[in-house]
C-alpha cells in the first residue's frame, strides 16, 4: 500500500495517508503534493478530503527519526529543503482552487495540527484522538507562517490556551470553540459526514481559488518573507 493514495467518490477526491502515524518527511511531501496535482487534473472533482487509514492517528507531525538523522549527518541543506517543503504543502492547501477538508480520525500533533489548520474545514472523530500543539514542551517554536495558519482556524482566545499549554484537546471541545465543523461519533460517521459536506461544494474552481488567494494572501506573504529568516540559519530549535 502506498504511503499516500487517493480515490474519487463522485465529486470528491479522498486522499488517504497510509503510514501509521503519518509523519512528515521528504517522501510524504512529494507524495501528498503529487496527489493534489493528480486530483486537480480531474475536472469532475470539486472538493478534497484528507483522511488516514490508521485507526489511532491522523498525523503525528514531523518525522523525528528522519530529521534527527539529517542533523546527525550535518545535512543542513536537507533540513532547509524539508522546511520549505512543508510550506509548499501548506501553500498548496491554502491556495487550492476547491475546498480541502480534514477528516481527523485520531491523534493530530504538531505539524499535523498545522496541516489540519491549513485546510478550509475540519471534522474530527469524537471517540478517539487528541489535537495538540506540543511545541511548547519540546522547545520548538512555531515559524511565523505556522502561527499565521493556525490563527485562521482557531479563535485567538482558544489558540493562546492550546499554544501556551500544549494541552491535548478532544473533538467535543474543539467543536464548542468552532475550531472544527463537527465532532463525529465514530470513524464511520466521520467519513460519512465529511463526504456529505464535501459534496455540497459545487463552486467553480476559478472563483473559489481567487477567494482563497485574497483571504490567505497575508499568510502566504508571511511564509515567503518571514519564514526564511528562521529557516536559512536553522533557528528552529531553542
End-to-end CA distance of the chain: 37
- Cβ neighbours for 92, distance < 8 A, ≥ 6 positions apart: 33, 36
pLDDT tens digits for range 134-171? 999 998 899 999 999 999 999 999 999 999 999 999 99
For 126, the 3-state DSSP assignment is: coil
pLDDT tens digits for range 161-203? 999 999 999 999 999 999 999 999 999 999 999 999 999 999 9
pLDDT of 22 over the 50 cut: yes
Domains observed in the chain: 4-199 (3.90.226.10)
Cell of 223: 511564509
For 203, the 3-state DSSP assignment is: coil
pLDDT tens digits for range 207-232? 999 999 999 999 999 999 999 999 99
pLDDT of 35 over the 60 cut: yes
Residue 167: phi, psi to the nearest 5? -70, 150
pTM of the model: 0.96
CA distance 172 to 194: 16
Contact status, residue 137 vs residue 162, Cβ threshold 8 Å: no
Distances in Å between the Cα of 154 and the Cα atoms of 114, 142, 148, 237 are 11, 15, 11, 24
Buried b or exposed e, range 12-25, using 16+ CB within 10 angstroms: bbbbbbebebbbbb
- The model's confidence at residue 236, banded by pLDDT at 50, 70 and 90, is low
- Cβ neighbours for 80, distance < 8 A, ≥ 6 positions apart: 231, 232, 234
For 154, the 3-state DSSP assignment is: coil
- Cβ neighbours for 163, distance < 8 A, ≥ 6 positions apart: 133, 135, 136, 142, 150
CA distance 13 to 44: 10
pLDDT tens digits for range 61-120? 999 999 999 999 999 999 999 999 999 999 999 999 999 999 999 999 999 999 999 999
Amino acid at each position: 500500500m502506498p504511503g499516500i493514495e487517493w480515490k474519487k467518490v463522485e465529486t470528491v477526491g479522498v486522499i488517504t495517508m497510509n503510514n501509521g502515524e503519518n509523519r512528515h518527511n521528504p517522501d510524504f511531501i512529494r507524495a501528498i503534493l503529487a496527489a493534489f496535482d493528480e486530483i486537480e487534473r480531474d475536472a469532475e472533482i470539486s472538493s478534497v478530503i484528507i483522511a488516514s487509514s490508521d485507526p489511532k492517528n491522523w498525523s503525528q507531525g514531523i518525522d523525528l527519526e528522519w530529521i534527527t538523522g539529517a542533523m546527525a549527518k550535518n545535512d543542513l541543506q536537507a533540513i532547509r529543503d524539508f522546511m520549505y517543503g512543508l510550506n509548499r504543502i501548506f501553500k498548496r492547501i491554502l491556495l487550492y482552487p476547491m475546498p480541502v477538508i480534514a477528516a481527523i480520525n485520531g491523534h493530530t500533533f504538531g505539524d499535523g495540527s498545522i496541516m489540519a489548520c491549513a485546510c478550509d474545514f475540519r471534522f474530527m472523530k469524537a471517540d478517539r484522538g487528541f489535537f495538540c500543539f506540543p511545541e511548547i514542551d519540546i522547545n520548538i517554536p512555531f515559524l511565523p507562517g505556522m502561527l499565521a495558519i493556525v490563527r485562521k482556524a482557531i479563535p485567538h482566545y482558544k489558540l493562546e490556551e492550546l499554544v501556551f499549554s500544549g494541552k491535548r484537546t478532544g473533538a467535543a471541545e474543539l467543536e464548542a470553540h468552532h475550531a472544527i465543523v463537527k465532532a463525529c461519533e465514530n470513524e464511520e460517521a466521520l467519513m460519512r459526514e465529511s463526504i456529505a459536506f464535501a459534496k455540497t461544494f459545487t463552486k467553480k474552481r476559478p472563483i473559489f481559488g481567487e477567494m482563497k488567494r485574497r483571504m490567505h494572501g497575508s499568510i502566504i506573504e508571511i511564509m515567503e518573507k518571514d519564514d526564511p529568516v528562521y529557516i536559512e540559519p536553522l533557528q528552529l530549535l531553542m
